[in-house]
Chains A and B, each alone.
Chain A
Amino acid sequence: MTQHSLRKLLCITIAGLLYSCSPQRADTDVIRVRWSHDPETLDPFQFSNQASLDAVNLLHLGLLEVDLTRLKYAPVLAESLPTTHLIGDSLTELRYTLRAAAAWDNGCPVLASDVAFTLKLMFCPDLPNEAARARFGFIEDITTTATAPRRFTLVCRGQSLEYLVASGDFPILSEAAIDPRGQLRRYSLRALQRRPVTAPADTVLLDVARRYRAASPDQLPGLLPGCGPYELVAWERDRYLTLRRKTNWWPDAQLQPVPAVLQALPKQLEYVIIPDAATATLALRRGDLDVYPQMPAREYARLQTSPSTSNPLRLYSSLSYSVVMAGFNTRQPVLADALTRQALSHCFDAAGLLEATQMGAGTRTVGILSPANRINYNDSLALIPFDLKRAAALLRQAGWQRGPEADAGWVRAVANRPRQQLALRVRYRAEETLFATVALQFQAAAAKIGVPVTLLPTESGTFSSSVHTGDFDVYVRMLNGNPFMFNFTPIFHSEAIGAGNTTGFDTPASDHLIEAITTAETEQRRAHLLRRFQALMQREMPVVPLFFLPNRVAASSSLTGLQVSSLKPGYAVKTLVRAPQPSPAP
C-alpha cells in the first residue's frame, strides 16, 4: 500500500507541476516593483522605512510634495507654495490655500479643518506618532477661519527658510472619516503639544485614538481614506502589496492640465517583497518583476555584462544623496583633537573603495553635502587624499610618538593624564558588505602606519545602542540627505549629544554655525554659511565623508516613462507606462 500511495503521490505532484508551469502572466496593466523589506506599517505618521513611505505617498497626499525628477517641492493639495510672513524675530506665519478641486473619494472637499485635524492627530496620545511629533513640532498652531474654509495659517516657532516646504510635507487625513463629531476640535494644537506624557488619560483623546487605530490600514485595508491616487487592494505581509488606481480620483476630472506631481499613470502597482538581491535579479530576468530600484552594484554589473534574454532590460543610474562616511568618537581622549582625526582620515582610500565596491560609479566628496548641489557644495575645498605618509606626519604633529621597532604603536603623553595609546575599534553594521569593505580597507591601511585597528561588525540593533552609548572609536555608516533640508542640529549640535550626535562633536563655532544655517534668511546667505560649515567640518573632521553612492535602477524595457531620481526611492513610480507589446509572449 505504501508503495502505491507513494507512486500515486508522485504522479499527482508531477501532473500538478506541469500544469502550474504552463500559465504565464499576460496582464499588461500591472507593474511589478521590487521591495527588499515589508513596509511593516502603512501608518502615515510612523515613517518606519522606505517601503512604507513609498506606499503612504501613493495612498495619501500632502499639501506639498517633492517632484522627484525636478527635485523641487510642488503644491499638491495646496494651490501654491505658502506665503511667508515673519512675525517679530521668533515666529513665522505660513499662509496656505487649498485647491478648490481637492476632494476625498466621496466627493467631499478637502478643507482646512482636515489639515488642523491631521496636525492635532500627530500630538494625540496613544497613537504611533512619535516620529511625526519630532518632525512637525515646530508648527505651533494653526488658525482657520469659518468664512474661508480652504485657507489656513500655520504659526511656526522660530524662523527658517526650510519652513516654507517642510511645513507642507505630511499626508492629510480626513476629519469626517475618523472624527465625525469633531471631538478633537475642542483641543488647540498648542494644548496637545504641551500635554505632558505623564498626564492622566483623557477619555475623549483615547476615544479618537481608538477610532484612528480601528480605521488604520493595518487593521482593514482601505478604511483610513486618503485622497491619493491609489487604494490598497491587498497586502500580504512579507509577500506583496497591491495598489489599484482609483477611477474617480479628483484631479482626473477637475484639473486641466494635470500638474506633473499629480500624474498617476499605472493602473495597478504590485510591490513584490524579495529580500535577497540575487533572487530579485533572477525574478527580474525571468520577467516576474518590472522594476528593480536601488540595485546593488554587483548585481547591476552582472546585468551589464550578461544582458537578459527573456526579459530585455534597461539600466538607469543617477547620483544619490546617500553619503558613506566614517565617524570618530570625539569623546575618546585619543580622538579628542582634530589633528589626530585629520591624520586618520588620510587612511581611507575613497577612490579605491569607490572602484572596488561601486565599479567606479558614485562621486567623492569633501563634505556631507552632495557635489550635485552646486550652490551649496564647497568646491574650493580639496578632497582628502589617501596618503599614509601624510597621516604619519600629522600624527607626529598631534603629539604622538612611535617607538623605534617596526611593530611599535603610537603613544602620547598628556599632562596630568595617563599615557595614551593609539588603538581603534571600528564598528559597523554587519549585514552591509560595503561598510565591511570600508572598515577592512581602513584596518589594512592603518596597520601599515602602525595603528592597530579592531573590527567590530555589529548586528543592527546592537549597533544602534552601541553607537548611542558611545561604545566605539570609529563607525562606518550612511547618511541620507536631500537638496532641501540643511538642519544639522540632530547630528552635529552639542544639544543632540546623547541623542543623534553620536560623534559627540561639540565646538562653540560649529554650534553657532549650525544655528545660523537653520535661521538664514536668504538662500545666498545660507549657501555662504553652508560652505563655511563644510570648511569647518573638514578642519575639525568629526566625520570623514567618503563618497556619494550612485542610485541604480533596472527595469524591463517594455516600460516607458521611467524617470530616475536622485532622491529615494530613486525613480518616479507614478509616471511608469507599459508600452503596448508588439507580439504576445508565446
Chain B
Amino acid sequence: MALLTPAFRRWSQWLAVLWLGVVVLVAALAPVLPLPYPPNSPDLANIATPPLEAVGHWLGTDPQGRDVLSILVFGARTAVLLTLPAAVLAAVLGALAGGAAGFWGNATRLAVPYWLLGGGVGWWALQLPVPLLGLVVAAVGLGMALLFGVRKQRFPSWPIPLNAVVVGAATTLDTVPRLVLVVAMAAGTGVSIPGLLVLLTLTSWPLPARLVRAQMLRVRTLPFVEAAQAAGISPQRVWMRHALPHALQPLRTSLPLSVAGLLGLESTLSFLGIGLAPDVASWGRLMATIRNEPSAWWAFVFPALCLIISIISLNSLSRHRAAQEKLLP
C-alpha cells in the first residue's frame, strides 16, 4: 500500500506520533491544565456562542453553555482512559487465549484426578447445587492422585478442548456486530466507565485471539520450538518463554488499529447516548449536540477534527509497522 513518497511517509509517521503524544499528554494533564472554564459548569449567560465571541470561551460554548475547549480536553482524557486500556486488555486476553489455543490445540490431556479436583473445587466455589458434592468429588480426585502417586502409575487422562472453547467463544461473540451487541448489553447492565471498559474488552478480544492463534500455529512448527521441546523443557515454559513472544508479532500492527476502532466505537456510543454517563465529557456527545442546534458548527467541527486526526494517525502507525514487518526477514 504505497502512499506517496518514502520521505512523506516518514514525515507523516512523525506527525502521527507527535499528535498521538500530544493527545495522551493532554489527557494525562487535563486536571492541571489552566483551562478558563471547567468542563461541566454551564455559563448560563453564554449559551451556544461561536468561538472567540465570549471572553474565555476560545472555541465557543455548546447549547448548554459548557466550554467547548474544556470538553475537548476532558473528552481526550475519556477517550484515552477508555480505549487504551480496553485495547491492551483485549490484546492480552486475546494473546493468552489465542496463544494457548494455537499451541496446545485440542490435544492436551489432563490426568483424571486433576480434572476431578478442579471440577469439584469449581463446583463448590460456584455454589452449584449441593456444594458438598463438589468437595466429595475433589476429595476423590485428591485420593486418586495420592494413590496413583504412591504406586507410580500413569494416570488415565482426558483431553482439554482448549482450541474448541476459544474458537467457539470467539465465533459466538463475532456473530453479531459489535455495535449492536454493545447497544443491547448496555441497556441491560447500565454502564459506568469500568463497565463500559469490560464490555469493550469482552467484545474486542476475538480479533487478537484469532491473529495470535494463526501465528502460533506457524510458530509451533518452527525448529527452535521443536528443539526446545526435545531438550526436555516443560511445555508451559516453552510456550511462555519461546513460542508466545514470536506469536505476538501480528499484534504490533493490530493494536493501533484496535485503538482506532475503539475510539470510533466510543464516540459512536456517546453520540447515540448509550455508553457513558452524560456528565463524562466526550467528543461523540459534543458532536451529537449539533442536532439540537444546527447552527453551532463549532460544536461539531472541532471534536470531529480531533477524532479524525487521531484515527488517521493510528491507522498510519499501523501501516508503517506493517511495512516494517515486510522488510524484516
Contact = CB atoms under 8 A, between A and B. Distances in A.
Interface of A: 276-279, 298, 352, 356, 430-431, 433, 436-437, 440-441, 443-444, 455-459, 461-462
A462 B190 contact: yes
Given A278-B294, A430-B273, A437 B279 contact: no
B119 interface: no
Given A298-B293, A352-B44, A356-B47, A436 B278 contact: yes
B276 to A, nearest CB: 10
Interface string B254-296: 0000000000000000000100011100000000000111100
A356 B292 contact: no
B131 interface: no
A441 B278 contact: no
Contacts of B41: 440, 443-444
Given A278-B291, A298-B63, A298-B293, A457 B278 contact: yes
Interface in B147-182: none
B279 A433 contact: no
Contact of A459 (B63, B64, B190, B293): B190
Contacts, number: 50
A437 B291 contact: no
A407 to B, nearest CB: 15
Interface of B: 40-42, 44, 47, 63-65, 187, 190, 273, 277-279, 291-294
A351 B49 CA distance: 22
B190 A437 contact: no
A433 B278 CA distance: 11
Contacts of A277: 292
A440 B42 contact: yes
27 contacts: A276-B291, A276-B292, A278-B292, A278-B293, A278-B294, A279-B291, A298-B63, A298-B293, A352-B44, A356-B44, A356-B65, A430-B273, A430-B277, A433-B292, A436-B64, A437-B64, A441-B42, A444-B41, A444-B42, A455-B40, A455-B279, A456-B277, A456-B279, A457-B277, A458-B277, A459-B273, A461-B187
A277 B63 CA distance: 14
A277 B41 CA distance: 24
A433 B63 contact: yes
Nearest to B188: A461
Contacts of A461: 187, 190
A459 B190 CA distance: 9
Contacts of B47: 356
Contacts of A444: 41-42
A279 B293 CA distance: 10
A457 B42 contact: no
Report which residue of B41, B47, B292, B294 has the largest number of chain A beta carbons within 10 angstroms of its beta carbon.
B292
Contact of B44 (A279, A431, A437, A443): A437
Contacts of A431: 273
Contacts of B42: 437, 440-441, 444
A24 to B, nearest CB: 24
Contacts of A459: 190, 273
Closest 10 CB pairs of A and B: A457-B278, A430-B278, A356-B44, A440-B42, A462-B190, A455-B279, A278-B294, A457-B279, A278-B292, A444-B41
Given A352-B44, A430-B277, A455-B279, 17 more contacts: A277-B292, A278-B292, A278-B294, A298-B293, A356-B65, A433-B63, A433-B292, A437-B64, A440-B41, A440-B42, A441-B42, A441-B44, A444-B42, A456-B277, A457-B279, A459-B190, A461-B187
At the interface, is chain A mostly helix, strand, loop or mixed? helix
Contacts of A356: 44, 47, 65
Nearest to A302: B295
A441 B42 CA distance: 8
Contacts of B278: 430, 436, 457
A273 to B, nearest CB: 16
Nearest to A356: B44
Contacts of A456: 277, 279
Report which residue of B42, B63, B65, B294 has the largest number of chain A beta carbons within 10 angstroms of its beta carbon.
B42
B290 to A, nearest CB: 9
Contacts of B190: 459, 461-462
A41 B128 CA distance: 43
A440 B67 CA distance: 14
Contacts of A276: 291-292
Nearest to A352: B44
A277 B294 CA distance: 11
Nearest to B280: A457
Contacts of A458: 277
A349 to B, nearest CB: 9
A108 B178 CA distance: 57
A298 B65 CA distance: 13
A47 B187 CA distance: 24
A145 to B, nearest CB: 53
A455 B40 CA distance: 10
B249 to A, nearest CB: 37
A457 B279 CA distance: 7
Nearest to B45: A356
A42 B44 CA distance: 41
Contacts of B65: 356, 437
Contact of A440 (B40, B63, B273, B294): B40
Contacts of A298: 63, 292-293
Nearest to B191: A459
B287 to A, nearest CB: 14
Nearest to A431: B273
Contacts of A462: 190
A428 to B, nearest CB: 10
Nearest to B64: A433
Contacts of B292: 276-278, 298, 433
A453 B42 CA distance: 15
A458 B278 CA distance: 8
A443 B38 CA distance: 13
A25 B271 CA distance: 35
Report which residue of A276, A277, A356, A458 has the largest number of chain B beta carbons within 10 angstroms of its beta carbon.
A356
Nearest to A466: B190
A518 to B, nearest CB: 37
B64 to A, nearest CB: 6
A464 to B, nearest CB: 12
Contacts of B279: 455-457
Contacts of B294: 278
Contacts of B293: 278, 298
A459 B273 CA distance: 9
A426 to B, nearest CB: 10
A462 B278 CA distance: 13
Contacts of A457: 277-279
A443 B42 CA distance: 10
A444 B42 CA distance: 9
A443 B279 CA distance: 13
Nearest to B295: A302
